[in-house]
Structure 1
Amino acid sequence: MSLHIIEEAHRCLGCKKPLCQKGCPVSTPIPEVIRLFNERRMNEAGELLFSNNPMSSVCSLVCNHAAQCEGNCILNRKGEAPVHFSAIESYLSDIYLDRVKFAPSPPSGKRVAVIGAGPAGITVALKLAEAGCEVTVFEMESSIGGVLEYGIPSFRLPRSYVDRFRKLLDAARVSVRPNTAVGESLHIGDLMRDGYDTVFIGTGAGRAKKLGTPGEARANVYFGVDYLKMPEACPVGERVAVIGAGNVAMDVARTVLRHGAREARIYARSRNISASMDEVEYTKLDGAEIVCGKLIQSIGEDGPLFKDALFDEEGKVAGYSDELVQELADTTIICVSQTPKNKLVLTTPGLKSDDRGLLIVDESCMTTVPGVFAAGDVVLGPLTVVHAVENAKRAASAMLDYMGCTEAS
């Protein structure tokens, strides 16, 4: 690994207008990080990564690098292999994650409540604690992490990362209140009553979307986001059908093959696969099959029933066949996107969401309730960790402005 990343770092051209940085949703200063790495200033490189993106260690493992930093590398555009920055970032971030030393600003006298301890919530909590705020995180599960703990399989992201982020929160003197679902016994109004100056909502998009077809309530059917929370609790048999072709579908297919299934087939309506190409390739390497042109009609005891797509000369779906095709499966897992849960909207007067269930925010990430901010999947929909971090950073800055605090340098 060391020799590999040294070679990769030396291949960087140090572009004055780095397209790699432009391609990163959180604008990681890639040439500067690589320059510090080449000068063996490891702590400074790690600090630069962490200050720009507290989740850099995670993003280095789970980002869609082929479509972001590495896909925009000028070497890639010249027909050469791009600089494999994700390996450099992973090396530096992994080392630095255990070396982070918090030097918070003097106490601001401001109290902040963070609802949800996923990537967005952790980012906001760390940024506000660094600025001298007293931060309390309310998490509905027993562990922090959100999608890091309950959504991304451990073979892609070791669970040790969640433990390390918990230690970071403790070091930043962030209070964590687990097993507390705001919107049930406690409401946002209770938080405001008890002296929190601002509230941040980072509850993600944890409610699975339904197909709306018969059979979803059968015993041999699961939703992907629910299955990934605890795969060992869900017997799947030998043959599994996965409906949908996004990243969650790829994670599910790879997971079932690690939990007893001998066959996993992913069914897509068209030939367009929304999952990243890296994840598609890993899924195929693991032995899963992707079948295109299948429109789900219902799910029976023996598996899903489909109509086959009819494609035109351009490869686009022109229609579907009339006859039904039975695909045999012991278990069917539905992975057709997610949406936020609506309990906060239902229990918070004035808090509004759009027709997709996403919270409505202004340019400063403030919701329709003054002093209540939101970012991440609960606003953007189910995107990626790095998108949640970028959005959460903007929210943290806006919250500090709202409270009249100075952002930590």
Structure 2
Amino acid sequence: MLNIQSEANRCLQCKIPRCRTGCPISTPIPQAIALFKLGKLQEAAQMLFDNNPLSLVCAIVCDHDKQCEGHCVKGIKESPVEWGSIERFISDTYLERVQIEKAPSTGKSVAVIGSGPAGMSAAIELIRRGHEVTVFEAQSEIGGMLRYGIPEFRLPKSILDRYAKKMKAAGIRFRLHTAVGSSITIEDMLRDGYQAVLISSGLWRAQALRVPGETLPNVCYGIHYLASPKSFEIGNRLAVIGTGNTAIDVARTALHQGVSYVTLYARRAQSNADPKERELALLEGAEFKSQMQISRITKDGPMFKAVRLDEQGQIVEIEETEQLEPADFTIIAASQGPKSKLIHTTPGLEGNARGLLKVDENSRTTVEGVFGAGDVVYGGKTVVEAVADAKKAVQAIDEYLKTKE
């Protein structure tokens, strides 16, 4: 508590807070810190929750160095104010006490497909506006990639359980084990009285490398491994293809599960992963190798060809000679895409060349009454960006429903 208090005292209360401009959802950081310093923690927590329903989750998983803390004026000459720690303390302590204040019922019903960060945020925002909300989730519990794609040691599942309890208490309904596009379709939803549908189903299709050996029994994809790491017998040595956030989560999870040697491979030296997570992976024993192009996978490990880069880091040559990197198991964690069932089973619903959902500037898809938000629209982004996009979509849905009165 003393450390949190001292961090709060370091805030300069800037008139033009750069920390807020660095946050994708414009968190009112100076105002929340001011309330905290006055001992008004309940008010601070409510302010944060009203702005970002997943403030607790974002406090834990956000890359603060790139966002709020990376823009802090203090950081120019010394360390920035550790807003992430302050936000986590406030949001964690008061999650059960903040209120989801609901407007009078509109009599309108909205279906939300997917319960990841975009779906959870949208459901809370929609219920606040007086709409009835049903969330359709393919898995057995809510949370989407927050639950099945982020390791427990980074984001405790108990936090998602607390959110689920709070959302149910607010009147949000859930249909679990329900993959829309299989047994039921969006057309069925519109037929059954939902006046609007929000697609926030995320990215659940592993991106195949299309290299020989990808179907071998000692190979799997990162998102499948993270969903149930104990289901896989990795052995003593693991090769991870990719060096992004998912790949690092895979590597760290494997190390936590007792795998002795974990190596991550990439063609380029640059990575868009959170530098802190990369540093933790290194400290825990992971090794990173770059300028290596995978050519095939064998029962003894992946085969690579050396890559030559120019000064800008672009690939200029791939050598023909192959090199074996011994491994008992190979996990492919290069990228992910959306599943295509929703587009294929919904007449008129269009996607782009990458399979992502087509929406206009108001989150509207090519089907009336159907909207899109989060990674299924923009590809893999951050949790806080998914929340911000969900709020934008909810505003569009609310305006659309008013035209149906």
Equivalences for 1:319-358 in 2 at 5 Å? Answer: 319-358=317-356
Q: Displacement of 1:98 after TM fit?
A: 1.1
The structural deviation recorded for 1:18 is 1.0
* One-letter amino acid of the structure 1 residue matched with residue 23 of structure 2: C
Q: Distance in 2 between matches of 1:91 and 1:241?
A: 37
2:126 to 111, 125, 128: 128
Partner of 2:20: 21
TM-score, normalization by structure 1: 0.97
Q: Which amino acid aligns with 1:65?
A: H
Q: C-alpha distance in 1, partners of 2:313/2:345?
A: 47
Q: Distance in 1 between matches of 2:242 and 2:167?
A: 36
Amino acid corresponding to residue 4 of structure 1 in structure 2: N
Match of 1:227 in 2: 225
Structure 1: which 5+ residue stretches go unaligned? none
Cα displacement (A) at 1:380? 1.1
Q: Which residue of 2 aligns with 1:41?
A: 40
1:314, distance to aligned residue in structure 2 (A)? 5.8
1:233-260 deviations in Å (ceiling 9; x for gaps): 0110000000011000000000011123
Q: Which moved more, 1:79-88 or 1:307-316?
A: 307-316
Change (3 A) 1:363 1:316: closer
Counting only pairs closer than 5 Å after superposition, residues 40-59 of structure 1 correspond to structure 2 as 40-59=39-58
Alignment of 1:153-192 (within 5 A): 153-192=151-190
* The 10-residue stretch of structure 1 (305-314 or 264-273) with the greater mean CA deviation from structure 2: 305-314
**What's 1:297 paired with?**
295
Measured after TM superposition, the shift of residue 315 of structure 1 is 5.5
Name the counterpart of 1:195.
193
Question: What's the CA shift string for 1:48-94, capped at 9, x where partnerless?
Answer: 11111111100111011111111111111x22101000000000010
SS in structure 1 at match of 2:365 = coil
C-alpha distance in 1 between matches for 2:315 and 2:373: 35
Whole-Å separation in 2 of the counterparts to 1:106 and 1:368: 30
Partners in 1 of 2:172 and 2:151 — Cα distance?
Answer: 27
- For 2:181 and 2:73, how far apart are their aligned partners in 1? 48
- Give secondary structure in 2 for the equivalent of 1:26: coil
Contact 1:366 1:372 in 2 (8 A): yes
Aligned to 1:74: 73
Q: For residue 245 of structure 1, what is the amino acid of its counterpart? A: T
Verify the 8 A CA contact 1:102 1:171 in the aligned structure 2. no
Q: Kindly provide the CA deviation profile for residues 277-301 of structure 1, in whole angstroms up to 9, marking residues without a partner as x.
A: 1111111111101111111000001
CA contact (8 A) 2:42 2:98 kept: no
Q: Which amino acid aligns with 1:30?
A: I
Hey, what's the Cα distance between the residues in 2 that align with 1:157 and 1:254?
13
Distance 1:70 1:120 in 2: 23
The amino acid of 1:261's aligned partner reads V
Amino acid at match of 1:398: A
Answer whether contact 1:241 1:304 (CA < 8 A) is retained. yes
SS of the equivalent of 1:227 reads: helix
Deviation at 1:313, TM superposition (A): 5.2
Aligned equivalents of 1:240, 1:102: Cα separation in 2: 45
Match in the other structure for 2:283? 285
SS state at 2:344 partner: helix
In structure 1, how many angstroms separate the alpha carbons of the residues matched to 2:184 and 2:285?
46
Counterpart in the other structure of 2:238: 240
C-alpha distance in 2, partners of 1:25/1:101?
23
**Mapped partners of 2:207, 2:313: distance in 1:** 27
Pairing 1:135-150 to 2, within 5 Å after superposition: 135-150=133-148
Q: Which residue of 2 aligns with 1:264?
A: 262
Contact (CA 8 Å) 2:222, 2:246: kept in 1 or not? yes
Residue pair 1:237, 1:260 contacting (<8 A) in 2 also: no
Q: Distance in 1 between matches of 2:312 and 2:229?
A: 39
Deviation of the 1:174 alpha carbon: 0.7
**Which is worse superposed, 98-107 or 24-33?**
98-107
CA distance in 2, matches of 1:3, 1:332: 45
Identical-residue share of aligned pairs (%): 50
More displaced, 267-276 or 220-229?
267-276
CA distance in 1, matches of 2:398, 2:5: 39
Structure-2 change in CA distance of 1:108 and 1:300 (3 Å): same
The normalised TM-score by structure 2 is 0.98
CA distance in 1, matches of 2:314, 2:357: 34
Paired residue secondary structure (2:152): coil
CA distance in structure 2 between the aligned counterparts of 1:193 and 1:314, rounded to whole angstroms: 54
Task: Give me the whole-angstrom Cα distance separating, in 1, the residues matched to 2:159 and 2:330.
Answer: 31
Kindly indicate whether the alpha-carbon contact (under 8 Å) linking 1:236 and 1:260 is maintained by their aligned counterparts in 2: no
Q: CA deviation at 1:321?
A: 2.5
Which runs of 4 or more aligned residues in structure 1 lie more than 6 Å from their structure 2 counterparts after TM superposition? none
User: Once the 2 structures are TM-superposed, how far is the Cα of residue 312 of structure 1 from its aligned partner?
Assistant: 4.0
How many residues align? The count is: 403
**Letter of the aligned partner of 2:217 in structure 1?**
A
> Does the 8 Å contact 1:303/1:329 carry over to 2?
yes
